[in-house]
């Protein structure tokens, strides 16, 4: 037994040995909670002589459950296949497989996944003659799912969607029952119903589960909490482990109040604080403690480590967002030459749209990266949709873009109509817009009018390109095409819209780079650049710097972490400042981000940032100000403006900033500047129109015209 407790600290041993009655273990980030859970199971089996089938251990993911099984198998030498170590859904499936007949189902019931649910709801909508363009199946599915947990959710749905959801919900539940189907939510809800309605079954499982353990308790929702309560016997041998400071999934239904409900429902609970961290250095942990202590109604704890103080936190403030990104990239390159591998680094951000500029710079500098849990920016559906609109506006012969946007969003032009139009165009040797002009030869009046409306819309967009600013142009396309309305009915519409707004920033940046060019030429260069970037995207590689959201980072660790765009409005979000609960969740998200770092933490932001096409100057993140300045090394813009010398005169400050701008540009291999005359081995003499990163735009004499080239290419010489 001694061997089992080896390598455990005193608090971990306490959590393992305290087997009787309710126990709440508040496990700080990196405190070894999985070791505690698995050794507790082994202790119950070997020292308390508890049969393994009388132990229930619940976690949230199949990955976590499998890891726990492997560790228990290693500790005990027992086969774990028959052990009750599983997710909530797997446990309920096992129970229902034995007893679901009591609820009117057959034991042979099938579990349907999310895609199947969406298809079923789609078929119900069609059967009831609802317009699926107006009432998107995925949106209806979202509300149907919510109503399974909370019937009162109906009151929160706006008309006319609420009546549609109510009607579909009834048919959906009836369809599941008639076809012996169970969805994921139903697994939990049916199990609760089974236990409530059948005292004999409830008492049976209370007897079976002598000891219950629940991992990641802060992520439980109300249904899961109720389910646990129905399974706990009179001994109340319930062990929960979690960390309310890492409760960041309220948007998924997680209820942080469950930890507080536990205290109320089990007033004689034993509290164990797991505060020793095995991941990070003390400077990182002290910063995390200082941040999270500002949240109220939490169990106080202070993480500490035996890894020493380690490096201080670096706060780099760029002059611009580009400066911020360049600093991150150059720091990674520098540290990689010191022995760090690229997969030792993680860049964590609040919003997915943040990845765009990092992707761009990392591709330029040949730094491998991977985007965790998301698609590369330029491969995201909404970005590909929008660029297809732009390509078609610039080139009405672009059949590929035509086919992508004509029914995106849906505008009453069906596939049969499109197929007839394409066949006619091929037969008559016409482009697709020419075919529209003659579509009355093959199609009815209604279809012809819709096609003509589409053509006129694209022509109107082309006219508006010259009349509107780029920012206005983006808004105009999104509005007039119907794309905005389509996003409103998309469950991920907010995120997709945010990515499209980022396109304003891209256009604004390119307008400055190509300031001497016409708008049409700017768009042509931009679209070419996007095509290249999309092709070069490295989101699928296995080894490289990790890009991810803070939500996706929970449970992971990295030697070096960069928390980027740390400004009020970016992180924390503007919407959180007037909502205490949301602001505290944002702070917990910050805590999660800080505690991902093992050796070194960088916090970065910018003095000015192009956000959705507008230049903004946001204050440093409120969370940054909660860290003791003694723990932070300041670099960049903040370092410049806070030196005594800088405060003496404005001129000195401006000179310092200009020097820093020059240092940023010094990463470029060739000193080519706007206005320089050059000679090219093929295109002859030319003049530099603009310089951006590793590229330059050069105007050559007729017939070569304007070219975009690598400025350090050996074929280019400064004259």
DSSP 143: H
Residues 158-175, mean pLDDT to the nearest whole number: 90
The conformation of residue 268, written as its DSSP 8-state character, comes to T
Question: Residue 86 and residue 65: Cα distance in Å, rounded?
Answer: 5
Tell me the mean pLDDT in the region 22-33.
Answer: 94
**Distance from C-alpha of 85 to C-alpha of 658, rounded to nearest angstrom:** 61
The yes-or-no verdict on residue 666 having pLDDT over 60 is no
Cα–Cα distances in angstroms (integers) from residue 599 to residues 154, 319, 460, 559, in the given order: 48, 27, 56, 5
Using the predicted structure, report yes or no on whether residue 446 has a pLDDT greater than 90: yes
Among 201-205, 253-257, 357-361, name the one with the lowest average pLDDT: 253-257
Strand pairing category for 313-320 and 597-611: parallel
Whole-number Cα distances in Å, 580 to 156, 294, 588:
21, 12, 12
Placement of tokens 């041993």 in the chain: 13
Q: Residue 419 forms beta bridges with which residues?
A: none
Closest CA to 464 of 478, 450, 483: 478
**Residue pLDDT, tens place only, 704-713:** 556 777 777 7
Strand duo 55-59 + 270-274: pairing:
unpaired
In tens, the pLDDT along 498-530 reads: 888 888 888 877 777 777 778 888 887 777 667
pLDDT over 50 (residue 677): yes
In this model, does residue 576 exceed pLDDT 70? Answer: yes
Compute CA distances 669 → 192, 664, 709, whole Å.
Answer: 66, 12, 14
DSSP letter string over 646-679?
HHH-HHHHHHHHHHHHHHHHTTSSS---TT-EEE
Is the pLDDT assigned to residue 368 strictly greater than 70? yes
Which residue is it, tokens 């396309």? 477
DSSP element (H, E) containing 516: none
**pTM, rounded to two decimals:** 0.68
Four-CA torsion 217, 222, 224, 229, nearest 10 degrees: 90
**Does the pLDDT value for residue 345 go beyond 90?**
yes
Determine the length of the chain. Answer: 719
Least confident of 66-70, 94-98, 637-641: 637-641
Instruction: Using a pLDDT cut of 90, give the percent of the chain over it.
Output: 49
pLDDT digits (tens, 9 = 90+) for 178-226: 888 899 899 999 999 999 999 999 999 999 999 999 999 999 999 999 9
* Residues designated as active site: 33-34, 215-216, 246, 596
pLDDT at 41: 96
* Average pLDDT over every residue of 610-615: 74
| Least-confidence region, from 139-143, 329-333, 490-494, 644-648 | 644-648
Query: Any bridge partners for residue 558, and if so which?
Result: 597
- What average pLDDT score do residues 130-157 get? 84
Percent of the chain with pLDDT over 70: 90
| Both structure tokens of 237 | 């041998």
What does the pLDDT read at residue 656? 39
Q: How high does pLDDT run on average in the chain? A: 86
Closest CA to 85 of 60, 105, 106: 60
Backbone angles phi, psi at 694, to 5 degrees: -85, 0
CB 476 within 8 A of CB 464: yes
Rounded distance, CA 333 to CA 176, Å?
55
For the cut 90, the answer to whether the pLDDT of residue 37 exceeds it is yes
**CB of 522 within 8 A of CB of 510?**
yes
Q: How many CB atoms lie within 10 A of CB 3?
A: 7
Q: Give the helix/strand (H/E) hosting 684.
A: strand 684-692
pLDDT at 648 over 50: no
Q: At what angle do helices 445-467 and 381-394 cross, to 10 degrees?
A: 90
Region 273-292 average pLDDT: 96
Q: How confident is the model at residue 1 (pLDDT cuts 50, 70, 90)?
A: low
Q: Is the pLDDT of residue 657 over 50?
A: no
Q: Is 18 helix (H, G, I), strand (E, B) or coil?
A: coil
Q: What is the pLDDT of residue 665?
A: 39
Residues 231 and 195 sit within 8 Å (Cβ to Cβ): yes
- SS3 of 69-128: the string is HHHHHHHHCCCCCCCEEEEHHHHHHHHHHHHHHHHCCCCCCEECCHHHHHHHHHHHHHHC
669 pLDDT band, cuts 50/70/90, is very low
Residue 638 above 70 pLDDT? no
- Does 663 score more than 70 pLDDT? no
Could you give the CA distance from residue 128 to residue 108 in angstroms, rounded to a whole number?
Answer: 29
The 8-class DSSP code of residue 269 comes to P
């Amino acid at each position: 037994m001694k061997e089992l407790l080896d390598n455990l600290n005193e608090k971990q041993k306490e959590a393992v040995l305290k087997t009787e009655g309710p126990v709440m273990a508040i496990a700080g980030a990196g405190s070894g909670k999985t070791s505690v859970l698995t050794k507790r199971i082994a202790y119950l089996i070997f020292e308390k002589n508890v049969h393994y089938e009388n132990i229930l251990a619940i976690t949230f993911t199949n990955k976590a459950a499998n890891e726990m099984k492997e560790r228990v198998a290693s500790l005990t030498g027992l086969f774990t296949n028959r052990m009750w170590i599983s997710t909530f859904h797997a446990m309920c499936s096992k129970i229902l497989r034995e007893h679901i007949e009591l609820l009117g189902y057959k034991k042979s019931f099938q579990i349907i996944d999310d895609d199947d649910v969406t298809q079923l709801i789609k078929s119900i909508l069609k059967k009831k003659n609802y317009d699926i363009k107006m009432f998107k199946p995925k949106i209806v599915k979202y509300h149907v799912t919510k109503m399974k947990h909370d019937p009162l959710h109906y009151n929160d749905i706006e008309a006319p969607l609420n009546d549609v959801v109510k009607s579909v919900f009834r048919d959906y539940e009836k369809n599941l029952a008639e076809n012996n189907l169970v969805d994921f939510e139903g697994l939990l809800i049916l199990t609760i119903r089974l236990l409530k309605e059948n005292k004999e079954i409830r008492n049976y499982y209370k007897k079976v589960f002598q000891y219950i353990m629940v991992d990641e308790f802060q992520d439980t929702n109300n249904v899961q909490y109720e389910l646990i309560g129905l399974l706990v016997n009179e001994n109340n041998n319930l062990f929960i482990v979690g960390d309310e400071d890492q409760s960041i999934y309220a948007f998924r239904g997680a209820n942080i109040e469950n930890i507080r409900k536990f205290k109320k429902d089990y007033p004689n609970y034993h509290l164990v604080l797991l505060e020793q961290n095995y991941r990070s250095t003390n400077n990182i942990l002290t910063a995390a403690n200082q941040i999270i202590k500002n949240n109220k109604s939490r169990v106080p704890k202070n993480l500490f480590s035996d890894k020493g103080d380690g490096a201080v936190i670096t706060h780099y403030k760029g002059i611009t967002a580009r400066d911020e990104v360049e600093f991150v990239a150059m720091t990674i390159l520098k540290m990689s030459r010191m022995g760090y591998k690229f997969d030792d680094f993680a860049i964590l951000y609040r919003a997915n749209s943040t990845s765009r500029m990092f992707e761009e710079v990392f591709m330029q500098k040949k730094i491998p990266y991977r985007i965790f849990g998301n698609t590369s920016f330029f491969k995201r559906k909404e970005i590909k949709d929008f660029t297809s609109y732009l390509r078609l506006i610039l080139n009405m012969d672009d059949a590929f873009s035509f086919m992508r946007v004509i029914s995106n969003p849906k505008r009453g032009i069906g596939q049969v109509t499109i197929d007839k139009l394409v066949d006619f165009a091929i037969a008559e040797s016409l482009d697709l817009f020419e075919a529209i002009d003659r579509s009355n030869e093959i199609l009815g009046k209604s279809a012809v009018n819709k096609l003509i409306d589409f053509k006129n819309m694209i022509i109107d967009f082309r006219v508006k390109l010259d009349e509107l600013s780029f920012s206005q142009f983006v808004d105009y396309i999104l509005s007039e095409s119907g794309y905005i309305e389509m996003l409103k009915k998309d469950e991920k519409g907010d995120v997709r819209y945010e990515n499209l707004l980022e396109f304003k920033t891209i256009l604004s940046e390119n307008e400055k780079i190509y300031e001497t060019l016409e708008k049409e030429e700017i768009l042509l260069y931009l679209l070419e650049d996007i095509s290249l970037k999309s092709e070069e995207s490295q989101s699928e590689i296995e080894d490289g710097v990790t890009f991810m959201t803070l939500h996706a980072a929970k449970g992971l660790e990295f030697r070096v972490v960069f928390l980027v765009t740390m400004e009020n409005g970016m992180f924390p979000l503007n919407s959180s400042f007037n909502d205490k609960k949301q602001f505290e969740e944002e702070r917990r998200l910050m805590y999660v981000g800080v505690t991902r770092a093992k050796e070194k933490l960088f916090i970065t932001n910018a003095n000015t940032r192009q956000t959705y096409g507008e230049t903004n100057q946001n204050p440093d993140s409120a969370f940054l100000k909660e860290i003791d300045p003694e723990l932070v090394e300041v670099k960049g813009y903040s370092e410049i403006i806070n030196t005594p010398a800088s405060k003496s005169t404005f001129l000195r400050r401006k000179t310092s900033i200009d020097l820093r701008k020059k240092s940023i540009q010094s990463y470029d291999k060739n000193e080519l500047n706007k206005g320089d005359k050059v000679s090219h081995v093929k295109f002859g003499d030319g003049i530099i129109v603009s310089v951006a990163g590793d590229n330059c735009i050069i105007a050559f004499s007729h017939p070569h015209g304007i070219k975009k080239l690598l400025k350090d290419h050996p074929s280019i010489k400064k004259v």
